[in-house]
Amino acid sequence: MSDDDWDPDPEWDDPGSEGSPGTPGLRDLDPASVVVGSIVGVAGILLILQPSVRVVDVFGTRVPTFVLSSGVLALGFAVGAPVYLRRGYRLRGIAHAVGAVGFGGLFFAAGFGSLALLWLGLAVVIGGVLFLVAGTRNLD
């Protein structure tokens, strides 16, 4: 492609101007995605805090921070799955459902000390990742 063939998109000509067409603003945010992203973000923060905050009290129970992180992550995915499936985003909804089941299994495996749940959670996450990678082949 030569420089002569390049035709800029007029919507993106002035990315610095606030409120111009094509420039996303706060009113363009999807509330469901903000909620899901915030929950998943809290899980990430918990994981980052793990070296300095080893245990968190949750309703009187002391839970290791990395274990709580997987539970919060599963919650975020569980909230996102039905939202995206109802909107017709099949692959995104399946990805969230797989994450909810897989990381939920890891969370409960740590909580109950169950090796079977640990392997089940890992199998769901790995199998889901492989399924999703195969599903992205159909995206254009």
pLDDT digits (tens, 9 = 90+) for 87-103: 999 888 988 999 999 99
pLDDT at residue 24 in the model: 64
On the 0-12 / 13-18 / 19+ scale of CB atoms within 10 A, 85 is middle
Cβ atoms of residues 67 and 111 within 8 Å? yes
CA 8 to chain CA centroid, nearest Å: 33
Task: Give the Cα separation of 83 and 116 in Å (integer).
Answer: 30
Dump pLDDT digits (tens) for 27-55: 778 888 899 999 999 999 999 999 999 99
Please give the pLDDT value at position 6: 52
- Report the pLDDT value the prediction gives residue 71, as an integer from 0 to 100: 94
Residue 77 pLDDT level (bands cut at 50, 70, 90): very high
Q: What is the mean pLDDT of residues 58-80?
A: 92
Express each pLDDT in 111-140 by its tens digit: 888 899 999 999 999 998 898 888 777 765
Give me the residues paired with residue 61 across strands. Answer: 58
pTM value is 0.74
Greatest alpha-carbon span in the chain: 68
